């Protein structure tokens, strides 16, 4: 099972390494971890995707809560959330198939951000599954390079 957890942390040096260290020393598997600024300049928000059963999820949540620089931990299990991931993908193409690739990019509501004779760079954002699906569609053309940001998420409503 994969779970999405969000942690509001103090925006201080050392917090990221602390949390990364916590995950490795406790043997938790992180699928992705993102950190970024929030509406409050003193705080950052981490979105962590972990793999494991409910008992592991509970430990992850509690262990995060125990870190003094972590202010709040929310577990998105069963909640209505918006989740997004962004990807930059450099895919091979030539004069013959360029139009096919562009058409697929349009279907996925992506954007071509750079183009050269042998490849193009595509930017795509959306739920993880959508990014996964697009990546699969691009494979036959040859993915030269890819970077995904990892997930960010927010609960809907108040």
Partner 1 sequence: MATKGAQILVDSLINEGVEHIFGYPGGSVLPLFDVLYDAPVKFYLTRHEQGAAHAADGYARSSGRVGVCIATSGPGATNLTTGIATANMDSVPMVAITGQVKTNLIGNDAFQEADVTGITRPITKHNYLVKDIRDLARVIKEAFHIASTGRPGPVVVDVPVDITTSELEGEPDRTMHLPGYKPVTEGHSRQIKSAAAAINESLRPVLYVGGGVITAGAHEEVRKLAEAANVPVTMTLMGLGAFPGDHRLSLGMLGMHGTAAANYAVTESDLIIAVGARFDDRVTGRVDSFAPSAKVIHIDIDPTSISKNVRAHIPVVGDAKSILTEMLPLVTHSAREAWHTQIEDWKRKHPLNYNGNGGRIKPQSVIQQLCKMAPQDAIIATEVGQNQMWTALWYTFRRPRTLISSGGLGTMGFGFPAALGAQVAWPDRCVVDIAGDGSIQMNIQELGTAVQYKLPVKIVILNNGCLGMVRQWQELFYKHRYSQTILCATPDFVKLADAYGATGYRITDPGEVGDALQKTLRTPGPVILDVHVEQEENVFPMVPAGQAINRMIGGMA
Residues that bind partner 1 (CB under 8 A): 9-10, 14, 17-18, 21-22, 25, 55, 58-59, 62-63, 65-72
Q: How far is the CB of 51 from partner 1 (least distance, A)?
A: 18
What is the chain's alpha carbon radius of gyration, rounded to the nearest angstrom? 18
Crossing angle for the helix pair 15-26 and 54-66, nearest 10 degrees? 140
**Cβ closest to partner 1, residue 72 vs residue 79:** 72
CB closer to partner 1 out of 10 and 132: 10
Closest distance to partner 1 from the beta carbon of 39 (Å) = 15
Task: Give whichever of 56 and 146 is closer to partner 1, judged by the CB atom.
Answer: 56
3-state SS string for 23-44: HHHHCCEEEEEEEEECCCCCEE
């Amino acid at each position: 099972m994969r779970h999405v957890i969000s942690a509001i942390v103090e925006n201080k040096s050392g917090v990221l390494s602390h949390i990364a260290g916590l995950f490795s020393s406790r043997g938790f598997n992180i699928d992705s971890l993102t950190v970024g600024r929030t509406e409050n300049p003193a705080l950052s928000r981490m979105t962590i995707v972990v793999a494991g059963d409910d008992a592991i999820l509970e430990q992850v949540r509690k262990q995060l809560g125990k870190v003094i620089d972590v202010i709040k931990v929310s577990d998105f299990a069963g909640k209505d959330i918006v989740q997004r991931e962004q990807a930059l993908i450099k895919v091979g193409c030539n004069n013959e198939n360029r139009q096919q690739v562009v058409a697929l990019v349009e279907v996925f509501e992506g954007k071509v951000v750079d183009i050269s004779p042998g490849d193009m760079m595509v930017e795509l954002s959306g739920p993880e599954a959508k990014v996964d699906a697009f990546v699969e569609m691009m494979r036959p053309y040859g993915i030269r390079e890819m970077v995904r940001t990892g997930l960010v998420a927010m609960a809907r409503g108040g």
